[in-house]
Structure 1
């Protein structure tokens, strides 16, 4: 128990401002998970879960005695959501290992998160969401943000509207990642745009800095997934042309 308390209380002082080590480590795990998501490896999910557990204790400042001593229920609640959705994503991507070869791309999700991706090996094939799926995402974003803003305000959350969108957008982005929708990168950008000012105002500086890093990273990741889709489309076109010529 003493060891656990020492870890929970461990801080790094920068410019006279105390910063929890668990906030730094939790965000580092989150970044590692995002990198794994871009590389389409299954280990992105458990690494992300470890970060979620740490950050849950950070954003319930009134419960876990953080330097900020305030609660962001949306930020804390999304860590719980991440655990649930990440379990689904972990299971969904892992199915590729036993699904066999159904596309030109062979799947092998057992690769380490630090392994360089091979052109013919991945855990999921990116695709654009369908028209129906996009309508569903927009409706969910609007309705859920309104509902969660009311709930968080009732609970006494700091910055309930922004907190609600971050929570809602995180649900959509994580679910989209699990489904292989390329749009999930764009949703993360929208979350970052709202999250940075909120976290800076609340004094969660490492998280705010990581949100900025995420902003650049997800923009890069979006470009990577779009390129993968274009290459895959070209591969199918070349395969079809080759088969046509044989006939």
Structure 2
């Protein structure tokens, strides 16, 4: 067995369940990234990318090692997370350079405008419908219930939407995460991915706190220019 295979297969057994170390460590990076986002720190983005890479190998399932039914939406969103995270990382770094020497955090929160909100909700609706049929077509190869395709479609679209909204500094992104968690936790429990399900539960508490924190900041730190969302730290 190669070193790569040994590392890939490493797992922890808890209450008779084998839990991949990739899942545990990937979720730890994800949680650290969420804390960084709450604190509005630039390092949240690269830390999150590491977690995305690890979790992709967990969720892709059978496509990698014949482990289990692959969670297509969960796996696919890790790829898009990486792409959107690079975008967010660049935006926050740019703002950091523009505000060098200040004590401002990495983002000045604001609510999305009515036009922006209509655009992202419309895009989300279309995305869920398209992915539902796409996942359903691919999923004929795997023994999964029909609800899985709709759930995974929303998890995929909602997660990308939330990450993009975070990059833009919209308070709305916390609400997107709450909606994703409400679907993601039951799905992960169903597929026995308990560390990820537990982390989603913790995320639920964190995002509720984060929502109220960002909403307060948006009220107390009004932007001089609504188009200028980012400040660096």
Using the size of structure 2 for normalisation, the TM-score is 0.89
Q: Aligned partners of 2:98 and 2:175: how far apart in 1?
A: 29
Q: Alpha-carbon deviations, 1:98-122, whole Å to 9, x = none?
A: 2247xxxx75xxxxxxxxxxxx421
Task: Note the aligned Cα RMSD (angstroms).
Answer: 1.7
**Residues 189-216 of structure 1: CA distance to partner in whole angstroms, max 9, x if unpaired?**
0000000111111111111111101000
How far apart, in 2, do the equivalents of 1:99 and 1:48 lie? Answer: 24
Which of 204, 217, 225 aligns to 1:215? It is 204
Q: In the alignment, which of 131, 134, 159 is matched to residue 170 of structure 1?
A: 159
Runs of 4+ in structure 1 deviating by more than 3 angstroms, as ranges, are: none
Q: What does 1:136-175 correspond to in 2, within 5 Å?
A: 136-156=119-139, 158=144, 159-175=148-164
For 2:97 and 2:196, locate their aligned partners in 1 and report how far apart those are by CA, in whole Å.
37
- Counting only pairs closer than 5 Å after superposition, residues 70-85 of structure 1 correspond to structure 2 as 70-85=69-84
For residues 32 and 18 of structure 2, the distance between their equivalents in structure 1, rounded to whole angstroms, comes to 24
Question: Which residue does the alignment assign to 1:129?
Answer: 112
User: Corresponding residue for 1:19?
Assistant: 19
1:1-247 correspondence to structure 2 within 5 Å:
2-65=2-65, 67=67, 69-100=68-99, 120-156=103-139, 158=144, 159-233=148-222
CA contact (8 A) 1:20 1:66 kept: no
Match of 1:117 in 2: none
Shift of residue 21, structure 1, vs aligned partner: 0.7
1:145 counterpart SS class: helix
Shift of 1:97: 2.2
CA distance in 2: counterparts of 1:66 and 1:48, whole angstroms: 26
Shift of 1:64: 2.7
Question: Matched residue pairs, number?
Answer: 218
How far apart are the structure 2 equivalents of 1:100 and 1:232? 16
CA distance in 2 between counterparts of 1:46 and 1:17 reads 31
TM-score, length-scaled by structure 1: 0.84
Q: 1:5 Cα deviation (Å)?
A: 1.3
- Give the corresponding residue for 1:242: none
Preserved contact between residue 153 and residue 160 of structure 1 (Cα < 8 Å): yes
Flag structure 1 segments of 5+ consecutive residues without an equivalent: 108-119, 237-247
CA contact (8 A) 1:11 1:18 kept: yes
Shift of 1:66: 6.7
